[in-house]
Amino acid sequence: MSNSSSVSTFLLWEFSEVRELQILYVFLFLALYFTAMTGNLLIIAAVALDHHLHKPMYFFLTNLALMDLGIVSVIIPKSMTNSIMNNWSISYSGCVAQVFFYFFFGASDLSLLTVMAHDRYVAICNPLQYETIMHKGACLQMAAIVWFTSLLYAMLHTSSTFANTFCSNAVNQFFCEIPKLLKLSCSDFYLVEIGLIALGFFVGLGCFIFIIITYMQIFSAVLRIPSVHGKKKALSTCLPHLTVVLLLIFSGLFAYARAFNDVPSDLDISFAVIYTIIPPTLNPFIYCMRNKEIKTALWKFLNFADSSKTIFRVV
């Protein structure tokens, strides 16, 4: 194809040529999507309905759940539709939208995890000034900054990627992934997007270093807590967040290192699933495992829902 204007659709990489395996992938993705949607929606509902969780940490957790819902919704439904219809094409505008929203939600995820690390630092290392520093206005302002900067970041990446001239429309991935799209470019403009990816990498690395340094100070403060119960309570709010950070960072780095490989492989799909779908799916469970407040709120919500069903049946 001579130029990008002649590319009306992109052809995504099919999971398998065997029809039975395609249907199997549909059920696998459906299970992952249902799990991610259920877990994150339960987190949002529990925080919204329990006034004990109307705190900065859970406000940011609700935002994180919304972003995770966005990530899985950008990728999984289209992939399931392609498998069901046995049609692996995606429109040019659909590919643009997929790139934009994935980067928007993904950048928001990392930015918010950085803000949440700061929240935990203030709560544990400077508890007497916590309410003064992390007041409602400050939390809303930080969340707004996260969403706005992520929006600009996504617009920048999307515009620089699709300003390229594409000489082919065959994307060696099951969704529109930027490194795979750049390999289709036959102009030098792709170097601009590579530069932006490199910049994004160093920004992400900076966020990761900030989080690690923050947690070094947090763990140092936790060790000085005299009571065992106090230490456990502090760690119960920190370890889930740190686990989510490590899962997101290392799966993303590993997958993007593979994404620039010149030889396409079935492993590319496996690694892409790991870094795009697994973190949003596991995040609610990671937070619920060690956080007693979340577990208590979820039990209250589920019991309330069950009671409401019983009353409705009686009436």
**pLDDT per residue as tens digits for the range 115-143:** 999 999 999 888 889 999 999 999 999 99
Q: Quick one: pLDDT at residue 67?
A: 93
C-alpha 245/C-alpha 161 separation (Å) is 27
C-alpha 207/C-alpha 200 separation (Å) is 10
C-alpha 53/C-alpha 136 separation (Å) is 13
Q: Which domains does the chain have, with CATH numbers?
A: 4-314 (1.20.1070.10)
Residue 202, token pair as written in the block = 């160093």
Is the CB of residue 204 less than 8 Å from the CB of residue 114? Answer: no
**CA 234, 240, 246: angle at the middle one, nearest 5?**
125
Could you tell me where the beta strands, DSSP code E, fall in 148-250? none
**Which of 198, 152, 158 minimizes the C-alpha distance to 178?**
158
Q: Quick one: pLDDT at residue 277?
A: 87
Residue 270, token pair as written in the block = 């496996």
Q: Quick one: pLDDT at residue 255?
A: 62
Could you tell me where the beta strands, DSSP code E, fall in the chain? 9-11, 89-91
Q: Quick one: pLDDT at residue 265?
A: 62
Q: Quick one: pLDDT at residue 261?
A: 60
At 195, the amino acid letter reads G
**CA 256, 207, 149: angle at the middle one, nearest 5?**
90
C-alpha 60/C-alpha 108 separation (Å) is 11
C-alpha 128/C-alpha 314 separation (Å) is 50
C-alpha 219/C-alpha 224 separation (Å) is 9
Is the CB of residue 107 less than 8 Å from the CB of residue 248? Answer: no
At 115, the amino acid letter reads V
HSE on the CB side for 116, CA within 13 Å? 26
C-alpha 174/C-alpha 102 separation (Å) is 14
Give the dihedral sign, CA 28/30/32/34: negative
Could you tell me where the beta strands, DSSP code E, fall in 100-253? none
Q: Quick one: pLDDT at residue 1?
A: 39
Q: Quick one: pLDDT at residue 168?
A: 86
Q: Quick one: pLDDT at residue 308?
A: 53
Which residues are CB-contacts of 14 (< 8 A; sequence separation ≥ 6)?
22, 82, 83, 88, 174
**pLDDT per residue as tens digits for the range 167-192:** 888 888 889 988 888 888 887 777 78
pLDDT averages per 10-residue partition of the chain, 315 residues: 61 81 88 93 88 88 93 92 88 93 92 92 90 92 94 92 87 86 81 80 87 90 82 78 81 64 65 83 80 76 60 47
Is the CB of residue 142 less than 8 Å from the CB of residue 160? Answer: no
C-alpha 116/C-alpha 263 separation (Å) is 38
